[in-house]
């Protein structure tokens, strides 16, 4: 085919330089306008990103219910006594949902397809009666994290459910060392007289530990120190488990003697860790119970849970959530179980005979009870463990500020029959003594005062609130204790704490398909 050449038009047909400039300017303006419109359309078609390149869509969490027993919908209720459900993640998951997260359960093996669109994978404490992690699953999880996903992994003490054996290959892929000791410590780094319920206050700076001062574990383990962020005291140790041959044992888990032996490694030991992995992030915590229905609400566990999840989902730089004003869980009323600010024993997590753990656990079945010294002015009721809290001027001032609000109740729990007016430096001249319902006699002898605001201070003077008398959360209420429970129900109701009905509060765990 011959090449066709178009002749150049004669000079008389060409445009003037001024007109050519005008045409070029118009053409450039049109092209710029089209480009800008295209850019705006592109941004509008990406709702997950805002002008600052920060995610705005709801974070998505997928909880492993294939390798672990992970019930995420069964919340605590008065009648729930199953240990694994009471210490499971349902309340922690509900808290995320209340913050706008989408949380669902993964009922089968991990695949690239199941992980598509997910922000965080939550792997609760795995056990040997569930399927092991297959090689393809490990590869999919590795790709997921390296490409920007978040992994929250729970380990625990002493390989108690053979979880180290189940997690071994997965941990190796992420270069995480697993431990088989129970983390033990001594007072004042424990709650109660035992060595297995520990308080960790050696907190290293990190996004997930911002504002965290004390973290509690209820018989937990140790995490890889290379990623450690929250540590036990130098007096702590890793208690070696006494594991019989073949793992044959009638016990509920593997334990040592909870006493320091010569060859057991001294602390400090890490119990919470975090690391980057490719473009993604990993958090490891050495205690399942730390985020169960009770420990979640004690000290700063709740704060660490939320911060860790937001960091994993890369929402940690956003300012759309203020943990200081975090309200009660939906459908529940806030109750403040106020611990002292000094170094005295933490009574509401104390599982010994003179502790208040049973009462705290029961309160968390019927309300959103927080065991903390942090200010919870929105609570309807404040519990204080005894009158000794009034020896602190700071504590007394904060309690008085709470009771100066209308329709509040402060409850003092103590069996010591001394005069509260002699102990508490409060402006008693403006108060008046008052009577309560005779039905409260089930709670033992009490004294009550009314503040000019209309709020009340009630001092129960009996042992009935102590663990030795109050039923444990993992057993049905004994007939002899039913009157006590009913009296507490009525008392809280009259204080403005509505007690939800069980069927409105909790799904049946048998209906959760994680088998």
> What residue spans define the domains of the chain?
60-244+251-324, 332-499
The DSSP bridge partners found for residue 190 are 198
Share of the chain above pLDDT 70, in %: 81
Contact between 426 and 459 under an 8 Å Cβ cutoff? The reply is no
CATH 3.90.1150.60 fits 60-244+251-324, yes or no: no
User: pLDDT per residue over 137-191, tens digit each?
Assistant: 999 999 999 999 999 999 999 988 889 999 999 999 999 999 999 999 998 899 8
Asked whether the predicted pLDDT for residue 123 surpasses 80, the reply is yes
User: pLDDT per residue over 344-396, tens digit each?
Assistant: 678 899 998 989 999 999 999 999 999 998 889 899 999 999 888 887 888 88
CA angle at 473 for the pair 363 and 252, rounded to the nearest 5°: 145
pLDDT for 389: 81
Please state the length of the chain: 515
pLDDT for 199: 94
201 phi/psi in degrees, rounded to 5? -125, 5
pLDDT for 10: 39
pLDDT for 12: 37
Query: CA 449 from chain center: how many Å?
Result: 36
The DSSP bridge partners found for residue 16 are none
Residue 329's pLDDT band (cuts 50, 70, 90)? confident
User: pLDDT per residue over 71-100, tens digit each?
Assistant: 999 989 888 999 999 999 999 999 999 999
CA torsion sign for 359, 364, 369, 373 is: positive
- In whole angstroms, what is the distance from residue 426 CA to residue 428 CA? 5
Q: At what angle do helices 482-494 and 357-366 cross, to 10 degrees?
A: 60
- In whole angstroms, what is the distance from residue 298 CA to residue 201 CA? 14
Residue 330's pLDDT band (cuts 50, 70, 90)? confident
Structure token pair of residue 31: 């092209």
pLDDT for 346: 81
**Mean of the per-residue pLDDT values of the chain:** 83
User: pLDDT per residue over 189-210, tens digit each?
Assistant: 998 778 999 999 999 999 999 9
Asked whether the predicted pLDDT for residue 440 surpasses 80, the reply is no
Asked whether the predicted pLDDT for residue 487 surpasses 70, the reply is yes
Asked whether the predicted pLDDT for residue 52 surpasses 80, the reply is no
pLDDT for 507: 53
Sheet bearing 228-231, strands edge to edge = 102-106, 60-64, 120-123, 150-154, 280-285, 270-277, 228-231, 202-203
pLDDT for 26: 43
pLDDT for 252: 61
CA angle at 503 for the pair 502 and 504, rounded to the nearest 5°: 90
Selected residue with higher pLDDT from 11 and 415: 415
382 phi/psi in degrees, rounded to 5? -115, 125
Selected residue with higher pLDDT from 30 and 257: 257
Helices assigned H by DSSP within 329-368: 357-366
pLDDT for 402: 94
Contact between 467 and 358 under an 8 Å Cβ cutoff? The reply is yes
């Amino acid at each position: 085919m011959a090449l066709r050449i178009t002749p150049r038009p004669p000079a008389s047909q060409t445009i003037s330089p001024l007109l050519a400039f005008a045409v070029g300017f118009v053409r450039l303006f049109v092209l710029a306008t089209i480009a800008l419109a295209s850019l705006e359309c592109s941004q509008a078609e990406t709702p997950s990103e805002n002008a600052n390149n920060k995610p705005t869509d709801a974070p998505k969490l997928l909880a492993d219910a294939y390798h672990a027993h992970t019930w995420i919908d069964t919340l605590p209720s008065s009648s729930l006594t199953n240990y694994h459900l009471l210490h499971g993640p349902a309340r922690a998951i509900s808290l995320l949902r209340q913050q706008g997260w989408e949380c669902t359960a993964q009922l089968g093996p991990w695949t690239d397809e199941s992980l598509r669109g997910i922000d965080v994978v939550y792997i609760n404490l795995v056990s040997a009666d569930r399927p092991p992690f297959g090689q393809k699953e490990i590869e999919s999880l590795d790709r997921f994290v390296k490409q920007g996903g978040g992994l929250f992994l729970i380990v625990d003490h002493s390989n108690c459910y053979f979880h180290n054996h189940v997690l071994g290959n997965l941990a190796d892929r992420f270069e995480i060392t697993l431990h088989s000791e129970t983390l033990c410590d001594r007072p004042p780094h424990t709650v109660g007289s035992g060595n297995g319920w520990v308080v960790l206050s050696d907190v290293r700076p990190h996004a997930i530990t911002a504002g965290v001062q004390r973290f509690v574990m209820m018989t937990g383990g140790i995490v890889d120190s290379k990623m450690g962020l929250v540590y036990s005291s130098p007096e702590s140790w890793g208690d070696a488990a006494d594991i019989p041959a073949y793992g044959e044992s009638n016990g509920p888990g593997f334990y040592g003697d909870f006493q320091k032996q010569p060859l057991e490694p001294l602390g400090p030991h890490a119990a919470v860790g975090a690391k980057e992995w490719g473009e993604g992030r990993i958090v490891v915590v050495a205690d399942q119970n730390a985020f169960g229905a009770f420990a979640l609400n004690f000290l700063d566990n709740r704060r660490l849970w939320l911060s860790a999840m937001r960091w994993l989902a890369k929402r940690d730089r956003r300012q759309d959530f203020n943990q200081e004003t975090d309200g009660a869980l939906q459908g529940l009323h806030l109750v403040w179980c106020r611990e002292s600010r000094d170094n005295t024993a933490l009574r509401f997590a104390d599982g010994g005979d003179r502790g208040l753990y049973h009462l705290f656990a029961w309160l968390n079945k019927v309300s959103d009870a927080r065991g903390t010294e942090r200010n919870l002015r929105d609570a309807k009721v404040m519990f204080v463990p005894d009158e000794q809290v009034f020896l602190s001027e700071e504590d007394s001032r904060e309690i008085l500020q709470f009771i100066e609000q209308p329709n509040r109740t402060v409850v003092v729990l103590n069996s010591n029959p001394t005069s509260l007016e002699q102990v508490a430096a409060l402006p008693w001249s403006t108060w008046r003594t008052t009577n309560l319902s005779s039905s409260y006699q089930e709670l033992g002898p009490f004294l009550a005062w009314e503040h000019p605001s209309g709020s009340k201070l009630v001092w129960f003077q009996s042992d009935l609130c102590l663990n030795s008398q109050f039923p444990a959360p993992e057993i049905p209420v004994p007939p002899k204790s039913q009157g006590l429970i009913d009296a507490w129900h009525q008392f809280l109701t009259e204080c403005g704490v509505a007690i939800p009905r069980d069927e409105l509060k909790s799904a049946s765990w048998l209906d959760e398909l994680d088998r």
